Structure 1
């Protein structure tokens, strides 16, 4: 019998799904523990990452201690490669176990913040060792930048859709708008005191902001202060081999697709200090024939965000969730 593996293929031009990839802010014990039974499929990736980072990094992804995850994952330089690698491994398990290449058959990729670097990897622009080095460097640059300064943070603001334009405009004017996630939620970033004062100011005459939820990060993502990390981050990317882009990526910066690697990298870098245009991104997908968004990676944040849009919303976060692949006829 032939040992050749056949991968189920859907012609991308006719594809009606996009892959969405998560950002930071996920605190979970043992990222890879649920996938341990599939380790034969991905052991080589663990070895490649440990070699690239020069440490036994991947053993931390099996640590199930709550105290450990709450401290280790709060470090951006740990969280970013951990989330990127876990997302990559989930997709590789699906490819090897079920013979479904969700990446190659997707019409578009889009990643939320950190997830855009996962998109660079999945689209073939950079390989796995390069990707983990880049996001580790990104995290270290961010940590160094805020180490001796004021206390930074991020908060998700919830409000009713009629307040969307007003909240976005005020947050932009204040220089703290970070993510435009839906018409009911934006994220602000900057000095913690500034964020708290902003909410108080907006609600001074009426309660426009219904809830303000601090996020588990200590970096002001997508804030102007991060502009200064871009030259070093660009140097890090281009110090490695950069390849042609194989799958279109919807940019956080513009909410539109990019098709060549240099444009994609340029926009990804600029997005470090500009707001994530998630609303525009999802509206772009819908306008371009996407009916299903498949959210792949640890956590359910994207599942919640994308549920606000008129698309079928599928989550692939645990081995149990893989059954949806058969239900939705990916298998």
Structure 2
């Protein structure tokens, strides 16, 4: 049997309507949304199911919404007998992975993510910083572009997503300079991302410091299955180290390509994206062309994946 990895998406994968059909069809999914509404003190489920899109796209709402939807999907997969043998999550998705691995309860993860989202949402005035995807340049060239552009403002690699796809993060001035240099260096595309701040850069260090004070109040356990984390792109099992990396992650690059290659080198060949969107499915196909990829985020994709596995709905 193929060793399956569950991958959990981060901010940017959200959409109005996510989780709605699974919550209608499966009490296990509905229970996750009900718990989120209770813990957060507002109807997150309604925001996920009905919008409005503008509110759902605000960091302070997006992050708990994506986490909750991902865990609702996870509960349905458990109900269907679909197990995983390792986990990884992209940025925010790392908290979903921690729940799947038994490191955190869903309730505790949600409380931490709510605080994380509020801190990140307030970290910088709107329009002063952001993120840009650079396509078609290797990581060394992007790093060089950032070094040169830093003369005009802070700008750093933020996500090493896949070969030829690196996201950079920084101030408005640093990003503008880096975008121009990247085009001159031969980038195929340079795409500003719809995010509210310069995430995974040194500009988020104060967020990490505040999150550290909050996160120490929670009980972290050793993972039940292998967990690969963003900061190192490698396995982590020590609960204290896990906490440290969650704090570092806020202001450090996401080493996604390295993480996927690590799992592949250890014999993991089947990757299932659990939650809204298909961003990670596309990335892992680029990183490991011969792997098996599936995605489950709604009723239709669940039925498709179960059929591929020879199971019934």
Given the two structures, how large is their TM-score scaled by the length of structure 2? 0.90
Alpha-carbon separation, structure 1, partners of 2:270 and 2:147: 31
Q: CA deviation at 1:172?
A: 5.7
- The residue aligned with 2:141 is 166
- The residue aligned with 1:20 is 7
Unaligned runs of 5+ in 2: none
Given that 1:199 and 1:209 are in contact with CA atoms closer than 8 Å, whether structure 2 keeps it comes out as no
Matched, 1:209 2:209: no
Q: How does 1:111-126 map to 2 (within 5 A)?
A: 111-126=89-104
Matched, 1:33 2:53: no
Given the two structures, how large is their TM-score scaled by the length of structure 1? 0.85
Length, aligned pairs only: 304
- The residue aligned with 1:180 is 160
Unaligned runs of 5+ in 1: 1-9
- The residue aligned with 1:80 is 63
Q: Secondary structure at the match of 1:217?
A: coil
Matched, 1:303 2:281: yes
- The residue aligned with 1:58 is 45
Given that 1:130 and 1:237 are in contact with CA atoms closer than 8 Å, whether structure 2 keeps it comes out as no
Q: Secondary structure at the match of 2:295?
A: strand
Give CA deviations for 1:244-266 in whole Å, capped at 9, x if unaligned: 32222111111111112221221
Alpha-carbon separation, structure 2, partners of 1:314 and 1:168: 32
Q: Secondary structure at the match of 2:250?
A: helix
Given that 2:103 and 2:222 are in contact with CA atoms closer than 8 Å, whether structure 1 keeps it comes out as yes
Structure 2 residue corresponding to 1:140, chosen from 94, 101, 118: 118
- The residue aligned with 1:151 is 128
- The residue aligned with 1:99 is 81
Alpha-carbon separation, structure 1, partners of 2:143 and 2:311: 38
Given that 2:29 and 2:73 are in contact with CA atoms closer than 8 Å, whether structure 1 keeps it comes out as no
Alpha-carbon separation, structure 2, partners of 1:325 and 1:39: 15
Alpha-carbon separation, structure 1, partners of 2:275 and 2:283: 14
- The residue aligned with 2:293 is 313
Alpha-carbon separation, structure 2, partners of 1:37 and 1:53: 21
Give CA deviations for 1:291-325 in whole Å, capped at 9, x if unaligned: 11111110111111111022222111221122323
The alignment's C-alpha RMSD in Å is 2.0
Give CA deviations for 1:39-59 in whole Å, capped at 9, x if unaligned: 422333223212211222222
Structure 2 residue corresponding to 1:325, chosen from 292, 300, 306: 306
Give CA deviations for 1:70-93 in whole Å, capped at 9, x if unaligned: x11221110000000100001111
- The residue aligned with 1:292 is 270
